[in-house]
Structure 1
Amino acid sequence: MSDDDDELAELRAQRAARTGQLSMSTLRQKLDHARGAGPDDTTASVDRDGPEPDEMHTVSLNGSNGHAASVAEDPGDDAGIGPPIPQDLGDDLVGPAVPPEEADGMDGDAWDGRGLGEPDVQEDPYRLPVTSEVALEGQGKYVASLDVDHSGSRVLSGSRDYSVRLFDFNGMKSDLKSFRQIQPFDGHPVHAVSWSPTGDAFLAVTGAAKIKVFNRDGTERGESLQGDMYIRDQRNTKGHVSPCTYGHWHPTDRYTALTSSEDGTVRVWDTENVVQKTVVKPTLAKPGRVTVSMARYSNDGHLIVAGLNNGTLQSWDIRGKFGASAAIGQVMPPTAQMVGKQDWRYVSGGGKVLHGAHAKDCEVTSLAFSKDDNTLLSRAADDTLKVWDLRKFKTPVHVWEDLPAMHPTTQVVFSPDERLILTGVSAGRDATGGALVFFDAQSRSLVRRIGMPSSVVAVQWHAKLNQIFVGVGDKKAGSVRILYDTTWSTRGVLQAVGRKPRGKNLFDFQAPLVIHNPHALPMYREDKPHGKRKREKDRMDPVKSHAPERGSAAMLKPGTGGNIGVTGGTLLTQYILKNQGMLRNPAEEDIRASILRHADKEGDQFSTFTKAYAKTQPERIFQEEEKDEEGSDKEA
């Protein structure tokens, strides 16, 4: 073996010891030593710490992120150089392994996970994908809710401008435009959007008392019923009677979703038929009706947690006979209200209730579960973020304060590896201060704060894409900001940023838009007998009795009846009279001006119109003045 080979083997051993990994040669020696076999026996496997041969059947390569990889064959002499290439090992994996520290023999280059590094670069120990940012513009107001399907190919954004926009990374160009925009209910802002676990449909919750379910392409599949607002008992209504506040699809059941409402209930829906399945009524400290501002499922779908506008948190375990126990049973409506079969169930009480979890009269804006469903995060309008242990659901484990949340759907989420907690901060009145903040879940310290142009409301970190989606905006405009890293992130928006939209070509052609008069199409023609009755009916029709516009087919003829023709076949006489101003349309003539033309003329105005009859008419005889009778007697 040459000196170069010896030096290369030494470098491999140093790197393997530094990164906590074993080279193939060292691993094979440990394997043979543990089993007492020859150097060619590679069928058995042992751990790095040397367990007994009968305990394991795979070789575990434990990296810095704690994931195991199985070794089945000898990959050659190059094995063990640098860390293993990151593989898709599930939601726990967020990017490749943490970069090792710089050591001798690497020529001063820092390792960046790909073997290509820049000198003197300190890597982020949390591997935050925040080095690059793009914006999905177009929303008229701030984005209140967003959701990414499980495959990471489509994004939903619900805005306060009453619309839901769908973005598809597979067909998106670098202009980053949505391929569809829908309005679930006109005039109602969107509070929540949620994908089904299979990604074939999504739920849209607005300020209306109804909800809608759409398929993957945005076509409406169904709409729920609205309950009777005059029925006081909410257990007897077929739907919400007040505006909805939030909605969440079941994480594993593609036919179940829940919604919360201002009527003080949480309702579980059958999304296939869009009908009500269960009515859940939170337990209140005193009788009344309190708005349920937030409700969602746990990650395994076994728990429902709701947050109220008075700062109360309550959870229900829905495993087993949820809503069908002997204490609760099925509540049937009175006979007077028995208009149809009521097959939904009513749930009240039970579970864990914590009054005063947040400040009084402050709504809970967001809830988030850890993967083991033992830890709960709650965000509220009292500018706090609290961590709860559901096994000891009495006092918070930790509280972060001074986090403004001016919007009713300000969200909080865990990172995919649950090392970090993300939440949004609202901007002040001067439109500054909006940010996305990161907290360490173990040390409870602030890790990073990323400023945004306006308030941060919706937040989601997609595990497969390793990209952070942030919904921002204000009353004037909104957008979805996507944070990513060109090294750690995969697919998603990276597929679209490199696609340039097609430019316009000089030889492009598009057929002109032709607008047809509906009454001129054959499909609208009706064969009716002609006669006086038909003419009278046509005169009553405002469309048929409307005079044709200038230049229409009805006017393509020489002018008649005082109208000037518009075709090239106009008579020469009409053309001369029109230009000389002697031919006027009576409908366009000012009658008052015509009368005032004679106001300044002197003399008898009546004779002006009777000169033609002066020679043919007899002489007019007027009554003569009578003489005084007394005067005549004196003369006699």
Structure 2
Amino acid sequence: MADGDDDYEVEELALPEDDPMRKFLPTSFGKQKREANIAAQIEQTKRTADKPAPTAKAKQQDSDSDDDDSDDSSEDDEDEYPVSHELVLKTHDRAVTSVSLDPNGGRLISGSLDCNVNLHDFASMTPTTLRAFRSVDPWETKASASSESHPIHHVQFSHLSGSVFLCVTAHPQAKIMSRDGDTVTEFVKGDMYLRDMHNTKGHVGEVATGTWHPTDPNLCVTAGSDSTLRIWDINYKRSQKDIIVFKSKTPGTAGRSRMTAVAWGAAGQGGSNVLVAAALDGSLVMYSGNAPFHRPTAEVNKAHKSDTWTGGIDISSDGRMVVTRGGDGLIKLWDTRKFKEPLVTVEHASTSDRYPMSNIKYSPTSTSIITGSATGHLHILNPGNLQPEHVTPITPGAPLIVVDWHPKLNQIITGSANSEIHVLYNPTMSTRGAVEVMSKAPKKRHIDDDPSLTMDQTLGMSGDSIVVPGSQLHGNRKGGVTASGKSRDPMRPQVQQITPFMRSQPDEKHISENIPLSRMLHEDPREALLKYANVAKEDPLFTNAWKSTQPVTQYAELSDEEDGPDKKKVKR
């Protein structure tokens, strides 16, 4: 070191560049701050899927264009639609039948054929913790963990508040649940022995789907297999607010047909709300969105093929156009002002035979229409001619059942038959949601967080633990409980279920501690009195004043021949 110079020169260890010892030497000193590489994390979610082979019509349209133009158009499609990146959530065990985001886009709910509703919070997820914070079975009660469960048909957040969501299962009763998964309202079930559906206070058959009122957060509508549409006030569960009974004109149906889909659109310019529903007999009916609902404003008897499930129906943002996806393999576009014949009809493979919940949705601005396919592709259609503008594979080989496009996040959520939820987004076009998740640093994990690295899996204990004699007999037990509250340990006795009869019968410990003289409940009163016979004779309490002067009672002695006192003569 030179005199007066404050700079120090540290001599480095002279090692060749290819020396393997270099990887064990530190590159810097002191505590290092580990920062996440956001760009690299987002780049990992970039989709590499290409467009599928074009159809004959697409080939004919592309025959006039050059190869360079087609490549440029495909790149432009990725920039136009939020489909360049994806976030995959695997939180269900069976096919995902419904997905919904709250109005702010912070919470995602999903329903599945595994009878569970999973709740996801984007704010609490990180790239390494992509899981649901709660899984709820709507029909599982605390009193009976083995209660019957039902597949989830439809879940949907309220359009305005987002504090509650509508939950429709394979059951006559729909539910209103909070954003945390708690039951707020359970609508009543109707009397199945009544023939006239106008007199029932609820559905008497399985509910297929439902939706919310476009402007009133307290109203929702449900469509059931009892040939009715019922409008509910979520603050009054004992009876529906209005009822629409659909009368089928198909011979042999006795005037009834299952309602398969319903949509409630906002009012157009200078118009009113529109309520459109589809039935199993192929009919399509439209009502004015405001009561009374005495008769439909328009009806098409053979909108789709009879006895095919029309599960997809949606209304454009201006309330003028209606798009339907039927079980007959057709997508049709309708005009509410001329609701007699479809404007456009195109072929599209149906998945309603296996998954009746298959839907079709307008984009938030109604400039596109999205739907899934049986091959697992996402189809983005032109709203004018229903021709595909962009087709991309999501879950190849597994049908794509449900789709949704959030207006604020500008992200597309899909649910597939392989139990996967895909959140499609574009880092430059989308906000929050999946972008927020991938912009976080991965959660730091300690080695002790992984039991497979610190535990002996054969015994279920660490290598440094003290082994007590006889403890190995139960070392392979599984700890914890399932979602229904049952123990994972097969040898552990189950907690006795609390039945309604047991709730009304207090236990013996409570009786003995809180009720005076409760121990005398099962005691013979004659024996209890005989205990004090000698005490009462020796030390009388009430007759002690005339104890010495008390006369002795004497009874007359009678022989067997004597009849005793004179008996009264019986009058004849």
TM-score, normalised by the number of residues in structure 2: 0.61
Match of 1:214 among 177, 182, 203: 177
- Residues 362 and 503 of structure 1, relative CA distance in 2, 3 Å threshold: same
After superposition, the C-alpha distances for 1:511-555 in whole angstroms (9 at most, x for unaligned) are x98999999xxx984438889979xxxxxxxxxxxxxxxxxxxxx
- Aligned twin of 1:503: 445
| SS of match in other structure, 1:496 | helix
Deviations 1:229-260, CA, capped at 9 Å, x for gaps: 00010110110000100011112111100000
From 102, 110, 117, give the equivalent of 1:157: 110
CA deviation string 1:141-186 (max 9, x = no partner)? 1111111111111111111111111111112222211111111124
Partner of 1:378: 324
Q: Corresponding residue for 1:464? A: 408
Of 405-414 and 281-290, the range deviating more from structure 2: 281-290
Equivalent position to 1:124, from 77, 83, 96 = 77
Shift of 1:434: 2.0
Post-superposition shift, 1:270?
0.6
1:350 matched to 2:313? The reply is: no
- Greater C-alpha Rg: 1
- Aligned equivalents of 1:151, 1:507: Cα separation in 2: 34
The answer to whether the Cα contact below 8 Å between 1:283 and 1:349 also exists between their aligned partners in 2 is: no
1:264 aligns with one of 209, 227, 246: 227
Does 2:400 match 1:417? Answer: no
Question: Aligned equivalents of 2:314 and 2:280: distance in 1?
Answer: 17
Which amino acid in 2 is paired with 1:179? Answer: F
Within a 5 Å distance, the mapping from 1:334-345 to structure 2 comes to none
1:504 partner amino acid: H
- Per-residue CA deviations over 1:267-304 (Å, capped at 9, x if unaligned) read 00011222410110124215421000111211347111
Cα distance change on mapping 1:513 and 1:263 into 2, 3 Å: closer
Q: Which residue of 1 aligns with 2:136?
A: 182
Q: Which residue does the alignment assign to 1:439?
A: 381
Task: Give CA deviations for 1:307-328 in whole Å, capped at 9, x if unaligned.
Answer: 0011110011033xx22xxxxx
Query: How many correspondences in the alignment?
Result: 377
1:48-91 Cα deviation digits (max 9, x unpaired): xxxxxxxxxxxxxxxxxxxxxxxxxxxxxxxxxxxxxxxxxxxx
TM-score norm. by structure 1 comes to 0.55
1:192 aligns to 2:154 (yes or no)? yes
Aligned partner of residue 115 in structure 2, secondary structure? coil
Distance 1:524 1:405, change over 3 A: same
> Deviation digits for residues 26-45 of structure 1, max 9, x if unmatched?
xxxxxxxxxxxxxxxxxxxx
Maintained 8 Å contact 1:377/1:387:
yes
Task: Specify the alignment match of 1:173 in structure 2.
Answer: 126
How far the C-alpha of 1:399 sits from its partner, in A, is: 1.1
Q: Which runs of 5+ in 2 are unaligned?
A: 1-71, 140-147, 452-478, 482-491, 497-506, 524-572
- Aligned-partner residue type, residue 192 of structure 2: M
Partner residue, 1:276: 240
Cα distance in 2 for partners of 1:516, 1:438 equals: 54
Q: Among residues 443, 449, 459, which one is paired with 2:391 in the alignment?
A: 449
2:244 matched to 1:305?
A: no
- Once the 2 structures are TM-superposed, how far is the Cα of residue 127 of structure 1 from its aligned partner? 0.7
User: For the residues of structure 2 that align with 1:394 and 1:202, how far apart are their CA atoms?
Assistant: 34
User: Which SS does the other structure have where 1:293 is aligned?
Assistant: strand
- CA shift, 1:120, in A, is 13
Quickly say closer, same or farther: Cα 1:396–1:498, change in 2 above 3 A: same
CA positional deviation for 1:362: 1.2
- Write the distance in 1 (CA, Å) between the matches of 2:208 and 2:427: 37
Q: Which has the higher contact order (CA 8 A, sep 6+)?
A: 2
SS at match of 2:420: strand
Q: 1:369 to 1:120 in 2, by over 3 A?
A: closer
Q: Check the 8 A contact 2:208/2:224 in 1, yes or no.
A: yes
Summarize the Cα distance change of 1:247–1:507 in structure 2 as closer, same or farther, 3 Å threshold. Answer: closer
Looking at structure 2, the residues matched to 447 and 293 of structure 1 have their Cα atoms a distance apart, in angstroms, of 28
Taking the aligned partners of 1:518 and 1:230, their CA distance within structure 2 comes to 39
C-alpha displacement of 1:125: 7.8
SS of equivalent to 1:495: helix
Report the Cα offset of residue 441 of structure 1. Answer: 2.1
- Structure 2 counterpart of 1:184, which letter? P
